[in-house]
Amino acid sequence: MSAYDVFICHKSDQKPWVLVLARNLKTAGFSVFLDEWCVIPGYSIPESLFEGLQNSRKGIVVVTPKVMESGWVKIEYDRMISRRNNEKDYTLISVILSAEIPRVPFLDDISWIDFRDPGKYRDAFYQLYCALRDKAPGAENTLGIELEIPEPAPPPPPERGTGERAFIKDVFEQFHQRRAILLLVQEDRWQAGIDAELQAFSVDRFGETNVRRIVPPFGAHENLENYFSLIADQSGFDKGIRSAGQLRAAIEHTLANGETLFLLLSGFENNCEQGRLELAGVLRGLNEKYPQTFKVLICGGEKLADMYYSGILSYLNHAGIMEWPDFTTEDVGRLAGHKKDPVSIDAAAAQKLLQLSGGHPLILDMGIDLYGRNKDFTVEDLEAEAMQSPQAWQLFTPFMRVDANMRQELCELLSREDVAPAQPYIFDPLLKRLYWKNLLRRSVNRNRLYWRCDILRKVGLRILGNR
């Protein structure tokens, strides 16, 4: 018999919403595995999570556009899919929060529950309740319990700082000489609002009617007709488009009429290989034929960098390449002021937080919260918080699955702050993975790799080195 009715898989930035959901599920009579409730202090976090997942009757995945960027969510999702495929009584339920329905593989073949409208939370929760009870919801909500309603989504992120705005401006200035640009971003650095900021700059630069936001469907085995149909729909073209050739003809018709088109493309590296190859062919042909009026900005991370430096997609060979900058003290002040309970931070405190966190988003966020409670906190205080944080442990748990030699190599790297020399492209598989997971940073002159901060290094040693 399962120890829990349900295991909730989610990104850490959805924690406040998930906590409300878990409390409501408990009120409705379900036993819930949630890391904050069920992991015993001093016990292995990854082992506790795996045990909780395996001993839960059903699974919930809280889906947002960036959910598959989380290495830990991918691991939990893979295990849930494996259980669903091998255990007839196991159910995986997807919950949608974001205004934009993400294109992730598990939404294509299972039903999902729509929590996007806060005013319909009770009805959505009733559907979830029925799914967990294995019954159809019927025409009326018959759930007779009081529910806690989650707080509204936080206000829009603060405007970019002067440094980030200057960087984005520089990206768009490159289009005077470039037809296509790759914008690379380390994991968890793609803050909410950056997509909107890039779109706003693109609209300002090229005009609102000339900008297309493209997110190809996620999944290695996506049907090509569906693949190009979705891209055509996002581009504002007829729904009858089902192939790369038809998509190119539609775009070319627009360009031949003298219009300019700018594509803001993300998720390009995560979709099916054949679709990616055919889409790259379309983009290359149009860039060559219309170099002044057809521009493309492709955003991504490790996989996109691999494609660029390996040369496996010739279209990318002549693209410009830029990497999103690290946080500044100004960014720390903006982030602190944007908290649910705003924190006022002066320049000296912001610099201290940057130094202690190395600019890692999670450790920085923990530091801001700690500063809000105790302005005289020490590095030991922040280190203690990180050591007890499931989210900090999740940064390293994917490395527990690597082979013994790589794990030993990682333990050796964790023993020193200065990790290795750095080239524009990091060839070593372990170093590359650490870098794009945002655990490593480049030196100021970009020729050395260092751990983001000593706190992360010690967390890694605790997990992988048993220290």
Q: What is the pLDDT of residue 443?
A: 92
Q: Tens of pLDDT along 69-90?
A: 555 566 676 677 778 778 888 8
For residues 146-162, give the mean pLDDT.
70
d(CA 437, CA 13): 16
Pairing of the two strands 440-442 and 448-451: antiparallel
Percent of the chain with pLDDT over 70: 87
Mean pLDDT along residues 23-28:
93
pLDDT in tens, 328-383: 999 999 889 888 788 999 999 999 999 999 999 999 999 999 999 999 999 999 99
The residue length of the chain stands at 467
- The per-residue DSSP string of 319-353 comes to SEEEEPPPP-HHHHHHHHHTSSS-----HHHHHHH
Dist. CA 351–CA 205, nearest whole Å: 34
Distance CA 367, CA 132 (A): 38
Listed in sequence order, the residues at least 6 apart from 354 whose beta carbon sits closer than 8 Å to its beta carbon are 327, 328, 329, 332, 364
**For the residues 305-315, what does the mean pLDDT come to?**
89
Give yes or no for residue 68 having a pLDDT over 70. no
pLDDT at position 306, please? 93
Contact predicate 271/216, CB 8 Å: yes
pLDDT of residue 416: 92
List the domains of the chain with CATH numbers: 4-132 (3.40.50.10140), 162-323 (3.40.50.300), 338-464 (no CATH)
Could you read off the pLDDT of 203-223 as tens digits, one per residue? Answer: 988 998 999 988 887 655 557
- Cβ neighbours of residue 228 under 8 Å, at least 6 residues apart? 241, 242, 243, 244, 246, 247, 275, 278, 279
CA distance 406 to 412: 10
Q: Give the chain's mean pLDDT.
A: 85
Q: Decide if pLDDT at 67 tops 60.
A: no
Prediction pTM value: 0.73
Question: In this predicted structure, what is the pLDDT of residue 75?
Answer: 65
Sign of CA dihedral 132, 135, 140, 146: negative
| pLDDT single digits (tens) 398-440 | 787 778 888 899 999 999 989 999 988 999 999 999 999 999 9
pLDDT > 80? residue 4? yes
Contacts of 26 (CB under 8 A, 6+ apart): 32
pLDDT greater at residue 279 or residue 187? 279
Answer yes or no: are the C-beta atoms of 57 and 8 closer than 8 Å. no
**Residue 442 belongs to what H/E stretch?**
strand 440-442
Whole-angstrom distance, CA of residue 387 vs CA of residue 467: 12
Residue with tokens 């009858």: 240
Taking alpha carbons only, the member of 105, 93, 30 closest to residue 61 is 93
Task: Round to whole Å and give the CA distance between 358 and 453.
Answer: 5
Contact call for residues 149 and 17 (beta carbons, < 8 A): no
Q: What is the pLDDT of residues 44-55, one digit of tens each?
A: 666 777 788 888
pLDDT, tens digit (0-9, with 9 covering 90-100), for 121-148: 998 999 999 989 888 887 777 787 888 8
- What is the per-residue pLDDT for 409? 93
CA distance 51 to 76: 11
Q: Are 370 and 382 in contact (CB under 8 A)?
A: yes
Tell the burial category of 18 from Cβ atoms under 10 Å away from its Cβ (0-12, 13-18, 19+). Answer: buried
